[in-house]
Structure 1
C-alpha cells in the first residue's frame, strides 16, 4: 500500500487549491494589466511578475495573451451578468422594479477597472470570433426580466404597451452605461466626468429617469430630466 505522501488522490487534493490560487493571482494581475494598458500594450512578462509566477507558467494555462484576455472578460461578464439576472423584482411595483434593474445595470461600471475592460472588450469582440460566454448565455434571462417588468407595467397602466422589450433593453443598456465606456464624449458634450463620484451620480440619476420617461404613460415632476441642484454628499442607493 502506498504511503500517504505518494497517494495520487491525496496529491491532487493538495494541488487543486494551489492551482486555483495561482489562476486567481494570474487573473487578477491580468485584469489590472489589461485595464491599465489595453490588450495591445499589455505584457505577459508584467502579468507574470505581478502574479508572482513565471511567464512559462502563464503560457502553460493560457495559450496566448488573447486567450488570457478573453478569460478575464468572461470572468467579469459572469460576475456582472450573474448578479444582474439574480436581482429580485417581482415584489416591486413596475416603476420601482424598472428603476432597480437599471441601477443594477449601471452599478458595476462605477468600477473604473471594469469600464476600461469594457472598452477593450467592445473592440475585441468586434474583431474576433469569440466562443459563447456568460453574456450570451445569460442574455435570455435578462430579456425575460425586462419583458416581465414591462408587461406588468403595461397591465397596471404605468407603462405604455407598444414597447418592444428587446429593443428597449438594448437602448436602456446603452443609455445607462455608455457614459462609463465613452467618457470623452460625455465630458465634451455635457461636462460630466463619471470618474468623479458626484458626476457619476448625476449621470446615473439622469440616465435612469430618461429611460423611465420613455415608457411611462404619464410623466410627473417627481423625477424631472434636469441636473440636481447639488448631488448629496453620500449618494443614496437607488437600487
Structure 2
C-alpha cells in the first residue's frame, strides 16, 4: 500500500499547481460523495477538474490516496472550526452547548455526513500518516476541558467527570447517528438524510450530553423533543 503524501495541497507549491490540486480535490469530493469510494471513477474526476487522468495520478498515486486526501481536507475543516471556536466569553453551560452544536453542524450542513460511513471504514483498514483529526484532537480536548473546569468552578457542572471520556462520549452521542443511520432509523425512526430529523437528533443529543454533566438537573436541557419538532399524529 502506498503511503499518503505529507500534504494534499502543499502551500509552498506554485500558485497554478495549488489551484490545480484544489480543483482535483473538489471534483473528487463531489465524486466520492455521490458514488462512494468503490464506484467513483478517476476519469470522471479528471474531466470535472478539467485535467487529464494522467495528471491526477501524477499528484495522487491511487484513487485511495485521493480519497484519503478528501477525508483529511474535510476533517481538517471541521476540526479547525471546533478548535478556533471562541468560548471564553460564554457562560459554562452556553460554552459547552456551543461546542457540541459545532460538532453536529458539519454533518447537518455539509458533505461530511456523506463521507462519514465510508471514512470510518477507510481509516479502520488503512494507516494514513497525515490525519488532521488526530493532529488537532489535543487542542479540542483542551478546549472542552477549559469549559468543563469553568463549569465545575461555577457550580454548574459536577466535578467527577473525566474530560477525555466526556469528549469521546459527546462526539459519539452527537455525530455517530450519521455514521450508523440504520440503527438510528430502526430504534427511533429518524432518517438522518432528512433535515428535520437531523435537527431532532442534534437537539436531543446535545441536551443529553449537557444533562449528563450538570451538577443539578436543569429544565434547560430536557430529554424530550421540543413540541415544534414533534410531528403530529398521522403526518408521516
TM-score, normalised relative to structure 1: 0.87
Counterpart mapping for 1:1-239 below 5 A: 16-111=14-109, 113-231=111-229
- For these two proteins, the number of residue pairs brought into alignment is 218
Distance 1:194 1:188 in 2: 12
Unaligned segments of structure 1, at least 5 residues: 1-14, 233-239
Larger radius of gyration: 1
Distance 2:179 2:185 in 1: 12
* Contact 2:208-2:221 at 8 Å conserved across structures: no
Contact 2:211 2:218 in 1 (8 A): no
Contact 1:110 1:180 in 2 (8 A): no
Deviation at 1:29, TM superposition (A): 1.0
Deviation at 1:112, TM superposition (A): 5.5
**Contact 1:112 1:195 survives alignment (8 Å):** no
| 2:161 counterpart SS class | coil
Alpha-carbon separation, structure 2, partners of 1:40 and 1:195: 21
Query: Which segments of structure 1 move beyond 4 Å, counting only runs of 4 or more?
Result: none
For the 8 Å contact 2:72–2:130, the answer to whether it is kept is no
> SS where residue 225 of structure 2 aligns?
coil
2: CA distance between counterparts of 1:38 and 1:200?
21
- Checking the alignment, whether the CA contact within 8 Å between 1:25 and 1:51 is kept in structure 2 is yes
Tell me, yes or no, if the aligned pair for 1:106 and 1:177 is still in contact at 8 Å.
Answer: yes
Rounded to whole Å, the distance in 1 between the matches of 2:61 and 2:210 is 45
